[in-house]
Amino acid sequence: MPGDAGAGTIAPMTSQYKTVDGALVGIVMGSTSDWPTMKAASEMLKQLGIKHESNVISAHRAPERLLDYCRSVESRGLKILIAAAGGAAHLAGVVAANTHLPVLGCPMKAWSLEGLDSLLSMVQMPKGVPVATFAIGEAGAVNAALFAAAVLSLSDEEIRRKLLVFRTKQAEKVDEVG
């Protein structure tokens, strides 16, 4: 087990998740099975030159590790968290409850209901602790990254410039009609 310091001792929790110096965005997933989808968010952030870290920390399988991670993010300089989960997708809500950073939720398709279960779990947060919820699957993953970039661009001219370049290139690819 990573960070296992031996019988009768408790390993330092920071050894159980990956940190990146200077990261502005943290992607957290409930399972490695979410990575093929969330890779698209990571790639978009990379394309925009935004330092980020990606971790699998399940809210129900590793609750203490998740709490420890949430408690570390603000002091390490992260600004936005992207939380992806499927099924009874409580991860984003738990993350939002344990940090004051904005939390962007990405509902995963998981194993049934085409992701509608995940979407409703995230979007129906009771009042008081918001999770900004995106579309199911890869579209939501990419849009969460773009939204994070838009927020960061309010105070970072370089990110703003890269985001505008992306938007301009995207517009150029739109087919003309007639």
CA atoms lying within 13 Å on the CB side of residue 81: 31
Site for ligand RP5 in 96-155 (CB under 6 A): 108, 110
Name the nearest CA neighbour of 129 among 150, 101, 110, 149.
101
> Which of 58, 121, 133, 153 lies at the binding interface for ligand RP5 (CB under 6 A)?
58
> Which of 19, 31, 55, 143 lies at the binding interface for ligand RP5 (CB under 6 A)?
31
Q: Which CB, 110 or 148, lies closer to ligand RP5?
A: 110
Does residue 54 interact with ligand RP5 by CB under 6 A? no
Structure tokens at 91: 């991860």
Does residue 85 interact with ligand RP5 by CB under 6 A? yes
If phi > 0 it is left, if psi is from -120 to 50 it is alpha, else beta; for residue 32 that is alpha
CB of 60 to ligand RP5, least distance (A): 7
Structure tokens at 23: 């990261």
Does residue 53 interact with ligand RP5 by CB under 6 A? no
